Structure 1
Amino acid sequence: MSTEDFSLVDTDSLDSKQKEIQKCKKKHESLLNEQKILKDGIENNKNFAREFRRRAEERKVSIEEETKKCTKTIQKEKEKCSNIQEEQSRLQMDILKMKEELQSLDRKNSSLKKQTEISTAVPERRVVFQGETKEGAHAVSFDVNSRIVYPMEGGTALITFEEEDVAQKILSQKEHRVELGDCAITVQAKPIQFLVPDYVEMETQVCPHRILVSNLPKEEPEDRTLDKLDIYFSRKKNGGGEVEDTDMLHDSGTVVITFVEDNIAKRLSDKQDHEVDFGRKKYKVKVTPFLNGEISQMKICNSDSLRTVLLTGIPDIMEKDNLQDNLEIHFQKTTNGGGEVEGILYNPLGHNTLALFEEDSPKDSQTE
């Protein structure tokens, strides 16, 4: 090439091209850097996505395990609640049973208290059940005739033997198997105990309105006796006055007469003996003061009925009379440890019976 050829080249244009080339290089480098940044970002995003999936999987497993634990916990709590409800129901049943037992004890205590409500001093005496019963609101009492009314529970029987030794032998065996034809029952033998007065002190005072009339004719009817006494003691010529009330005391066979005025009773009791006209015949009656008494001190003690045994646990499986007969036959046999039976009373389940105990007649010169 000649010198002239080189001179034809434009230096400014060449510089401009070089500058453009430099710019392109820088732009290329910039693009490469951006590409690298994008690749790094994509890789980071992939790593982040992988980490996210891993954590999500772990979280899913953790949630499933937590759910299982919660389900088990809820099930256990439900079981606990169910157990608590069952325990609460059982406790409520126990409370009801305890209330029933307390009511039963209250009734028994009330009965025992009634037995100790005595109108006068009573020495301790032997009593025995002789098969009699007594009804009425005032049946539970212990009077001067040594009579005790014993409230029998259902499914029990009272049996009195002629000999104490037989009763004690029956008690020592405690349980007895009684054959009833095709079946048999087992009954328990228990002693009979009473609360009886051991020592009684009473504060008494003469009633100004009442008198006690005794020695009454037994052959006259009660209504006629009361009418004749009312007529006799209401007349002033006999020392009487206006009668307010007449009342027959059947246990003692005496009559209480109440006057309106309070000076009549003393006048009649001072005379004491009075002859009352009953129409066909005159009878001499005795008038004594009527005492109002209040127990000031009393001690009680336990007393056993040595010839009477209480049988409990008797099911209601046949007619009352048939079952009572079977019990009597069983305990009469010496092979069963029994002996001669003086009296027996069976009270079926669901029934209430009051057994009357009276003073036991002395045997072998023994007293109590």
Structure 2
Amino acid sequence: IKKKVAEMKLKFSHMEGTSNCSDMDTHCVFDAAVKIPFRLNQNQALLTFEDEEVAQRLIKKGRHTVNLDNNKADVRVMPVPLDMGVKFELHVTISGRKINVSNIPELPIPEDWMRDKLELNFYKTQQGGGGEIENVTYDNESRRAVITFLTPGASNSFGGCPKYPFFANGRCYTLFVSSHADLHLKNCQPYCGVSKKTILLKGIQEVEEDEESVQDMIEIHFQKPSNGGGEIENIKYVSKGAAYVCFEEDTGNAI
């Protein structure tokens, strides 16, 4: 499943204790649920009721006569089939011993020499971080490396230093340093279905009234128990063009 996700602010909900803090790693879990979009076309409306029995009763009846601007309109009431959505957990472990290093300069030296220079450079750090190094993994093509320190928590001191000096061949280069994270996708669950509380109205005739007024007329009609209706949570009417309405998986409500 591939989907572009816009940048967003993350909400920190709570922190759990752990019985083993010797690795000094940071473990995070992100719960994600993709909202299900529904295309609402011209002269259509979506109504979400507080009670799903009301929605099912209206769907079962099928056709309803609605007064719109002193005109009677026969509209069709239909269920709302939803496309596939997905929810998942993203488990992230930020290492307390490893850092990622990029923007390594291209030098005319063998790879093992470059590994030695990187090890010496980060072992002799003057910025308060680093220390004795256990391993250096270097890729010449991507000019990236992973530095593994011997002491747990040693990599945490590089969190506020994205740029790092690198001395080689009598020059000072700038390396980019970032946290090393392992990501695992768990409990990935695709889902689809039909909304239980929302109905789709089709065949709404065009009238001279503005969109908001027509929406109010529809809402008044379907709120009346005498018309088989009930309390409405949300309503969306489109008189021209089209609009996308999103549904939440846990409630099946339009939002």
- Once the two structures are TM-superposed, the CA of residue 310 in structure 1 deviates from its matched residue by 1.1
> Which residue number corresponds to residue 58 of structure 2?
170
- Matched position secondary structure for 1:144: strand
**Given the alignment of the two structures, is residue 345 of structure 1 paired with residue 236 of structure 2, yes or no?**
yes
**Kept in 2: contact 1:175–1:187 (CA 8 A):** yes
TM-score by length of 1: 0.36
Q: For residue 194 of structure 1, what is the aligned residue in structure 2?
A: 82
Find runs of 4+ consecutive structure 1 residues off by over 4 angstroms. Answer: 197-202, 204-210, 298-301, 359-362
CA 1:236–1:148 in structure 2 vs 1: closer, same or farther (change >3 Å)? farther
Counterpart residue number, 1:303: 193
For the 8 Å contact 2:36–2:83, the answer to whether it is kept is no
2: CA distance, partners of 1:164 / 1:344 = 15
User: How has the CA–CA distance of structure 1 residues 156 and 303 changed in structure 2, closer, same or farther, with 3 Å as cutoff?
Assistant: same
Instruction: Kindly report which structure 2 residues correspond to 1:136-285, keeping only aligned pairs within 5 A, or say none.
Output: 144-145=32-33, 147-196=35-84, 236-237=127-128, 238-240=157-159, 241-242=161-162, 261=176, 264-266=178-180
Deviation, structure 1 residue 328: 0.2
Tell me the secondary structure at the aligned position of residue 261 of structure 1: strand
- Cα distance in structure 1, aligned partners of 2:84 and 2:247: 13
Please tell me whether the aligned partners of residues 33 and 87 of structure 2 are also in contact (alpha carbons under 8 angstroms). Answer: no
Pick the structure with more helix per residue: 1
- The gaps in structure 1 that reach 5 residues or longer are 1-112, 120-142, 211-234, 244-259, 267-288, 363-368
Structure showing greater relative contact order (alpha-carbon pairs closer than 8 Å, 6 or more residues apart): 2
CA contact (8 A) 1:206 1:292 kept: no
Q: Which residue of 2 aligns with 1:140?
A: none
- Residues 307, 239 of structure 1: CA spacing in aligned structure 2 closer, same or farther, 3 A cutoff? same
| CA offsets 1:112-164 (integer angstroms, 9 cap, x no match) | x98xx498xxxxxxxxxxxxxxxxxxxxxxx8245323222121111011101
CA RMSD in angstroms comes to 4.2
CA distance in 1 between counterparts of 2:100 and 2:87 reads 30
Q: How does 1:50-61 map to 2 (within 5 A)?
A: none
Aligned length: 161
Structure 2 unmatched ranges of 5 or more: 6-30, 102-125, 129-156, 164-174
Q: Is the Cα contact below 8 Å between 1:159 and 1:343 reproduced in 2?
A: yes
Identity of aligned residues (%): 29
Q: Tell me by how many angstroms 1:181 deviates.
A: 4.0
User: Could you say if the C-alpha distance between residues 186 and 206 of structure 1 is closer, same or farther in structure 2, counting changes exceeding 3 Å?
Assistant: farther
Report how far residue 305 of structure 1 moved: 1.2
In structure 2, C-alpha distance between the alignment counterparts of 1:242 and 1:344, rounded to whole Å: 48
Distance in 1 of aligned mates of 2:222 and 2:85: 32
The DSSP-based 3-state class of the residue aligned with 1:265 is strand
Q: Secondary structure at the match of 2:214?
A: helix
Residue in 1 that maps onto 2:218? 327
2:204 maps to amino acid: I
**Cα distance in 2 between the residues matched to 1:300 and 1:201:** 12
Aligned CA distance change for structure 1 residues 147 and 299 (closer, same or farther; 3 Å): closer
Following TM superposition, by how much is the alpha carbon of 1:201 offset from its aligned partner in structure 2, in angstroms? Answer: 11
Please say which structure displays the higher CA radius of gyration: 1
Instruction: Tell me the secondary structure at the aligned position of residue 323 of structure 1.
Output: helix
| One-letter amino acid of the counterpart of residue 358, structure 1 | E
Task: Report if the CA contact (8 A) 1:149-1:354 is conserved.
Answer: yes
Deviation at 1:183, TM superposition (A): 0.8
Distance 1:118 1:242 in 2: 25
